[in-house]
Chain A
Amino acid sequence: GAGVSQSPSNKVTEKGKDVELRCDPISGHTALYWYRQSLGQGLEFLIYFQGNSAPDKSGLPSDRFSAERTGGSVSTLTIQRTQQEDSAVYLCASSLQRNGNQPQHFGDGTRLSIL
């Protein structure tokens, strides 16, 4: 499809394990964002990539969280030594690079459950 693709749709894992979440943005979109949606916290920004610039990591909640974007396209969000409070829906979005802040288009998210 032409939209933002995220995988897996659902992930259940045990506390302490590492997880990797994948995002494939819309073709041609140079900006890519990760957000987290959890009960009581709403939608929180985690990290964003803009072209070849250094990513803005200011939203990452701890050093257990990291993300990379290879070749300016696909991005992987990695959570190490998962904790129960990491349970949430992780949303990826992408947007075009133009003047002004372009609308972000979201994927369906990955629902992460930490047992």
Chain B
Amino acid sequence: AQKVTQAQTEISVVEKEDVTLDCVYETRDTTYYLFWYKQPPSGELVFLIRRNSFDEQNEISGRYSWNFQKSTSSFNFTITASQVVDSAVYFCALSAHSGNTPLVFGKGTRLSVIA
């Protein structure tokens, strides 16, 4: 069975602080995909990143960076110099590698960035 755990239910930071959102997953598959989605107060889920389990390189996109460690089954997400617009619920998700299959989501982490 697949499972995603986001242990941090809510995080509150002051603007310009760095913040890391944790994601730990469980799967019996040897290959899989990991995803992060953002859900701002308006409600729509916005795709942020997809990571293939073959590729353990970290990725940086502007103020966002992702640290994938297969050895610890973790796929953590860091926001550098946080801004108020980063306030949202962030979901980590897992899926099978082949074909288009449903996502297994974590419970989400609510991030509040205070000005």
- Point out the residues of chain A lying under 8 angstroms from B84, CB to CB: none
> In the complex the two chains form, what is the Cα distance from A89 to B35 in whole Å?
21
Select one of B52, B99, B103, B108 contacting A104, CB under 8 A: B103
With a 10 A CB-CB cut-off, give which of B93, B99, B100, B102 has the most chain A CB atoms.
B100
A27 within 8 A of B: no
Task: Judge if A31 is at the interface, Cβ distance under 8 Å.
Answer: yes
The answer to whether A33 and B99 have CB atoms under 8 Å apart is no
Q: Is the CB of B103 within 8 A of A50?
A: no
User: How many of chain B's residues touch chain A, expressed as a range?
Assistant: 20 to 34
Which residues 88-109 of B have a CB within 8 angstroms of A? 91, 93, 95-108
CB neighbours (8 Å) of A108 from chain B are 42-44
**How many chain A residues touch the partner (CB < 8 A)?**
27
Whether, in the assembled complex, B64 has its beta carbon less than 8 Å from a beta carbon of chain A, the answer is: no
Asked if B16 is an interface residue, CB under 8 A from chain A, the answer is no
Contact of A106 among B45, B99, B104, B107 (CB under 8 A): B45
A42 and B108 alpha carbons, distance in the complex (Å): 7
Contacts of B104 in A (CB 8 A): 45
Complex Cα distance A48/B46, Å?
A: 19
In chain B between 37 and 52, which residues have their CB closer than 8 angstroms to a CB of chain A?
37, 42-47, 50, 52
A-B contact pairs, 26 of them (CB 8 A): A30-B100, A35-B102, A35-B103, A42-B106, A45-B104, A48-B100, A50-B100, A56-B102, A59-B102, A89-B43, A95-B100, A100-B97, A100-B98, A101-B33, A101-B50, A101-B96, A101-B98, A101-B99, A103-B35, A104-B47, A104-B103, A106-B37, A106-B47, A108-B42, A108-B43, A109-B43
B residues neighboring A (CB under 8 Å): 33, 35, 37, 42-47, 50, 52, 91, 93, 95-108
